[in-house]
Structure 1
Amino acid sequence: MKMHLPCILLLALASPAAFAAPPMFTVSAVQGQVGALSGNQPPGVVQPGHRIGAQTQVRTADNSRVDLQLGTTGTVGLGANSQATVHSIEADESIARLIIDSGSTRVRSRGGSDPVDLRVNIGALRLRVVDAEIWGTHTAQHDEVCLLSGAIDLQTPDSTQRMTTVGDCLRLSGTRVETRHGAATEPFAPQVFALLGSSPARPDHPATALQTPAASAPIIATAQTPAVAVPATSASSDNGNWAIVLGSFEERSKADLRSQQLRGSGIDSRVAAATTASGSTLWRVVSGHYPSKQAAADDLDAMRHARGISGAWLWTTP
């Protein structure tokens, strides 16, 4: 009997389960510059089809976005100038835990008979997203989550509750908790972006411009992936035509409506046309005329602090 024991051990070690690949998110869509950093591996550029595992940081640059897919029911999108850490993924991909380190995210767990359980930390907010969809942001001033569909379990430092009213947002500023009823209903606030693969794509990135993920793309930050710095914000340029973008729409009428709403709330705004890489036209709702990027950035910081506006970005108008 002892003679057969080593053979049994070898068979156990050679079983398929012993060599099963670790569970990972798949990059389903990328817009602009996105980077990732995992352990001691060099930073890598994220492309559609790459796989993102546990203990990996993902970061987006100016005007950049990325969607991460888990199974067939879970999607995590990151907005511009955002960073998230994939904390852990269960072996059967039924549960994933993520931390939004900064910026904005849109998290969806919908479809199928058993939607994935996405547990997301957005600053001091703890969310459990199952058969639901949310938008959230983590800034120096506040943490916020908006319910876009379904219902979620939500924990603040002082309480646990269940959000069930679609369109409501909960904002945590220090120790102050504020519920904003209907803040995420149509027409969407400019900061509530769609996932890149959603239709219609909004606010600024038509889904038709995206690449189809490769079926067997390499895991991010392997030796085959170029070692480059995780993208930072774009370099400053001073042409005297800087503005703050508060929203972007495929239809001029929707942009005009949003601009009118902003002016009604005391925010100076106008509509400007922007041409995408595919040649189509988007209508951006913009505010201000600034001689330099720094001047626009200073005003944007003040606007975020005073108005609670997040997700806006800077743009050089035509």
Structure 2
Amino acid sequence: MSNPYKDAGVDVESGYKISKFVKQNTSDKSANIGNFGGMYEIPEGYKQPVLISSNDGVGTKLLLTENGNLDTIGIDCVAMCVNDILAQGAKPLYFLDYISTGKIDDKVKHILSGVIEGCDQAGADLIGGETAEMPDVYGENNYDIAGFSVGIAEKDAILRKENVKDGDVLIGISSSGLHSNGYSLIRKIFFKDNDFKLDSKLPELGDKELGETLLTPTKIYVKDVLPLLSDKLVHGIAHITGGGFYENVPRMFSNDLAAHIDVTRWSKDEIFDVVQKYGNLKNDDMYHVFNMGLGMILAVDPVNESKVLSILNQGKTHAWPVGKIVKRRTNPVELMGV
């Protein structure tokens, strides 16, 4: 029996298999996957709950998965959404993904495995999504991924710019590497200007292949930071994403304040020195584009500095006091040691 839709390049049965795969690999709260909309009951115990949403993708980092290393890119997508929600002082509740490709096959399962892992790290439920087979828009091996997440906070616990005060201490939390920003520049430096390959081994990176380092997934900060939010120990959070320090740090405080940051106060992953060396980039350029080893910067009362550092440094996460909030004189971000 002929199938006109399949003959046109779209196999709806493959989409049904993906839904079944997600249901088999997620919690009971994914039971509504396959319905027309994802459902989520607002948790009890909130007096004035506010829902905070974020959507994002992973940019051109996904082009580095052409070697078949697809298992971590879904983590990146979750991270880019939930970290933004966390920066507002909210707890991520649920996540939905959107994957479009020229052909739905096993690569989608690998991508979704990363999404499922990312949701687990974030303590968020995967309640739905969409996988679209779009021949002629994408080649069979090409794809794109985007995500949407919702979190919740008490209205009076939302991190607002006016919460950050002159004299607050800035605490930086380690990143896992480049995260998911600046990859158009990264690809130009390594694969166009220097003609490296994904399996190239650079002496500065030891035994790791270049592709393995570049595909290190974005760190998800939810489990590190939520205890601090619960104890009201944080005045503001900057998620250091695209635009680096100069664009993101000022987003957490008012225009009359500035951040003084000493860039010698924390250790950076070797990948940043490698990028700067092979890209022939100035120090200032690096801080305009990349997270430079700090995925999040928190503003806290000096009285709570030791407590916050103690909580953050209990596990594998590393955190350092990196600066302070001062009255603004010129620029909103002043980097010492650049």
Fold agreement, TM-score > 0.5: no
User: Which has the larger share of helix?
Assistant: 2
More relative contact order, 1 or 2 (CA 8 Å, 6+ apart): 2
* TM-score normalised by structure 2 residue count: 0.26
* TM-score normalised by structure 1 residue count: 0.27
